Chain A
């Protein structure tokens, strides 16, 4: 007996051999499992696998980070958060949670990558007092200099 996953269709190697084009076409919509005794291989759309991996990857990161925050531990998941203050660390966690909920629904994982990169850049900036000071300095529009083209 084969337990189904992702509503897959289970076929035998013979069925695949005899109607190869048919099953390859079906595999773009459904997972096709080829069961050969105890061995089971699946034909699955590559994009779908990539999204499943992304989901697993980001879910692990978010859960680990939430645990670290909860236990007030130094983060191994995102070591650079040591350059964020407590408020920043919590804000980062909250945004991760909101974003992962959206990503799970939309299957759009780039936003998670962008969010992490944004916070990492923020932490990096914090770690360079000279740059941080310049970015936070009050602007004086009378000192603006137009670019020379």
Chain B
């Protein structure tokens, strides 16, 4: 378990992403609150989001995917450790295979 007390600020890459985040928040209030707390405290720690966090590979290296729901509500973000900032790059639905 992480003992880091660093807190991260969350920013959206654009107002469009903010709008999509708010739409998710309206639909899945509790789960988005849980996600928000995760992003603020341990945005890269799988142990704090078992089964929900994926670290993308290849050309997306550095981008993380957090599954808000088991179905298709997801967000993608990157962590700017230097500025203690999480940049949400996309929020929305992504159908499972």
Chain A residues close to B by CB (< 8 Å): 80, 84, 87-88, 91-92, 95, 114, 117-122, 124-125, 128, 131, 134-137, 139, 143-147
The 0/1 profile, CB within 8 Å of A marked 1, for residues 1-34 of chain B is 0000000011111110110010000000000000
Q: Is the CB of B87 within 8 A of A125?
A: no
Given the interface pairs A114-B46, A121-B54, A135-B76, the reply to whether A128 lies near B94 with Cβ below 8 Å is yes
Q: Which residues of B contact A120 (CB under 8 A)?
A: 54
A19 and B87 CA atoms in complex are apart in Å by: 62
Secondary structure class of chain A's binding surface, majority of residues: helix
Q: Is the CB of A134 within 8 A of B94?
A: no
Q: Which residues of A contact B55 (CB under 8 A)?
A: 114, 118
Chain B residues close to A by CB (< 8 Å): 9-15, 17-18, 21, 36, 46, 54-60, 63, 65, 76, 87, 89-90, 92, 94, 97
Residue in B closest to A110 when the chains form the complex, CB atoms: B46
Q: Which residues of B contact A95 (CB under 8 A)?
A: 57
Q: Which residues of A contact B56 (CB under 8 A)?
A: 118, 121-122, 125, 135
Q: Is the CB of A124 within 8 A of B94?
A: yes
CB < 8 Å A-B pair total? 78
Residue in A closest to B9 when the chains form the complex, CB atoms: A146
Which of A80, A122, A146 has the most CB atoms of chain B within a 10 A radius of its CB?
A122
Q: Is the CB of A136 within 8 A of B59?
A: yes
Q: Is the CB of B60 within 8 A of A136?
A: yes
Q: Is the CB of B15 within 8 A of A145?
A: yes
Q: Which residues of B contact A145 (CB under 8 A)?
A: 11-12, 14-15, 17-18
CB distance from B74 to the nearest CB of A (A): 9
A139 and B77 CA atoms in complex are apart in Å by: 12
Q: Is the CB of A122 within 8 A of B58?
A: yes
Residue in A closest to B46 when the chains form the complex, CB atoms: A114
CB distance from B73 to the nearest CB of A (A): 13
CB distance from A115 to the nearest CB of B (A): 9
Q: Which residues of A contact B60 (CB under 8 A)?
A: 122, 125, 135-136
CB distance from B71 to the nearest CB of A (A): 13
